[in-house]
Structure 1
């Protein structure tokens, strides 16, 4: 655990979602668009705050920090339509 904490304080963690999902803040490679692991990184961030931040992005998409993709376009146009189309990203689900 000490090694994890040391590495966490040196640089932001690499965090990605293995299962392909249709989400405006997740790119096609599973990279998560979240300030806590990007431009807002601070060595003061705890592992808990990072997990909470990623969970918040997954549960409540953020159009201001989204990747440019179909999910973001649909989300900006109609949040309700996006909620009706979760299967779009599930067609080619793959585990890395």
Structure 2
């Protein structure tokens, strides 16, 4: 079931992301359960100009169980652990089988613009964001420039 749905989703991703040039996604070689994706850092954010690569691993239980999604590119963000794991409700407890891959990528981009301070993965970064947003943005921008194939 998962492979058939992922084949359909691949077609949908190509069509949906055609209108969003900052996104891409597709399987690694011919393995439909393991995908790579990329997101361009959103404008008006400290990630602007950076290309952030992600990995998406699906299980044979997809879409009943969410995929595992993580950043391959290092990012300074309160909702992303040091190993790249994304702490987002829609990827864990609030997963819905109807969520598309395109939706997930756009939701991750939205999280880059507006971190979820109710559920930080890294408390130290969340505290910096809350107490000194300018310093947070400076550090996030610096990491983007050094880690995210920045085009700044």
Fold shared by both chains (TM-score > 0.5)? yes
- TM-score bracket relative to the smaller structure: 0.7 to 0.9
Which residue of 2 is the match for residue 82 of structure 1?
A: 136
Write out per-residue CA displacement over residues 58-92 of structure 1, whole angstroms, 9 at most, x where no aligned residue: 222221121134211201212222112223x56x9
Tell me, which stretches of 5 or more residues in structure 1 are unaligned?
none
Question: For 1:40-79, what aligned pairs fall within 5 Å after superposition?
Answer: 40-79=94-133
Higher relative contact order (CA 8 A, sep 6+): 1
Q: Give the TM-score normalised by the residue count of structure 2.
A: 0.52
Higher strand proportion (structure 1 or 2): 2
Instruction: Work out the number of aligned pairs and report it.
Output: 93
Q: Which residue of 2 aligns with 1:34?
A: 88
CA apart distance, 1:27: 0.4
Residues 47 and 7 (structure 1), Cα distance of their counterparts in 2 relative to 1, 3 Å cut: farther
Alignment root-mean-square deviation, CA: 2.6
Give the TM-score normalised by structure 1.
0.78
Question: Which residues of structure 2 form unaligned runs of 5+?
Answer: 10-59, 148-152
More helix as a share of residues: 1
